[in-house]
Structure 1
Amino acid sequence: MLPDSRWFDLLGVPVFGGSFQEALSLIEGAVSRNEKMHVITLNPEIMAHGLLDSSFYHILLSGELVVPDGKGIILASRFLGKKPTERIAGIELLRALLARGVERGWTFYFLGSKEAVVRKAVERARMDFPGVQIVGFHHGFFDDDHRVVADVNRLNPDFLFVGLGSPRQERWIYKYRSELKSRVMVGVGGSFDVLSGFKERAPQWMIRWGMEWLYRLVREPWRARRVVPAFWRFGIAVLRQKFRKSNHKV
């Protein structure tokens, strides 16, 4: 059952269809109530992986807040007859939470990417959001999960941003969420690369027209071997959901 009318069913996964500001309010509410929340920034590639792996699909179902990060998710929701939704990109969500965190006194921990990248991301965040409390960080190339969990718990941040790439970041959060003291855990993919300045986002006009995925493919053509089959698998699944519902109405 969907939580309320702001959510929509995408291939069995409840996806948040409200505004960016409403999503921020839900996250803030979890912090204020000291409740745990796993925020999943869903794109077609992540959804396609869930269609192939039942254990990962279960993780998608377990997330308290699954937001549409990716033009493909928005287009699929409209094709399925749902109300238009606002894209909630991981990097934009991260920035918005840092900004609000300055006002609310929230604390943050960055986990993921290379040592130089995550360190630079922390430096840039402190420059861009004066007063932000980033209490710790750790690179993503580690073997001892429990040591990392212990470091996070020692610093007890309100927010844990995990940039390990999907599906690793979602699996890691799901596996250790009961041990972690953080209230809100967000998988942010490659956001540290962008925040640090090591990688550039697409031009604003491409973001506005939903073509950021194309920009990334041009800059990183090796991704095509993974992205193209995932988009195809996702598209076929959406078509099946559409026609299955149509047949039920006949």
Structure 2
Amino acid sequence: MPAGSTWLNRDKPRPFVLTTAYTPGRLATLVYGSSQETEMRHGAAFIAVEPVPAGLRRNRLRSTTYFYPGTLLPVRYPLLPPHAGFLGGALDELRRMLRRALGIGQGSCLAPGADSNSRRGRVVILQPWMERDLRTSLAVLLTESRYSAEANYQIILPIYPAARSPLDGDDIRISLGEWLTVAPALEEGALLPIPAVHSVWQAHAIARETEHVMDEESLARIDRALCDYFSLPDPPPGG
């Protein structure tokens, strides 16, 4: 199942598009699509795709669709129904916008040039229901600098204690950084599973923001891993 595959919800014409090509044992990551321009007006990264109902380049969308790569949904491949079509040539544009939505190369909210209200790199405490689902109360915000200030959809990466979590091929282990003092459980370092990156609505899923911000070197490592995972161009050296 290739990246760029499209689906429609069963109950409403709200499509999704696959951003990661099928790999056994890995999560799939979908991008949310909508007929509405709401998040675009808030400055979210997006692409607009016209419907192609038939032919080799069919996407079977029902109307002009705005795909928002800042709204990511992970799902296991076996749970996906047969896809409806393909994004075709718009996949390259989607990847460019995904790179922007993830804030690749932008650094943290403390980096020079960051939006004054940016939240990128901020460590947050999750709501209890999110903690139960993810089995951790901590996450880092990765949303692009400007849109993160809107406090709408936020891209998060869960943070786990390295001492209690086995290292997988797509995981990053970080052992140094002031931000690790956010919780005693991170004394021996943190594990960040790249395939677990996804989006949440801030008011619903995030209990509070901490004063801790991930360091630039650690964010740069995450950026490079995200580029590998989503098949994006590598960030520039040092970014």
Per the TM superposition, whether the score is higher than 0.5 is no
- Between Structure 1 and Structure 2, the one with more helix by share is 1
- Richer in strand (by share): 2
Q: What TM-score, normalized by structure 2, do the two folds share?
A: 0.30
| TM-score of the two chains, using structure 1 as the length reference | 0.29
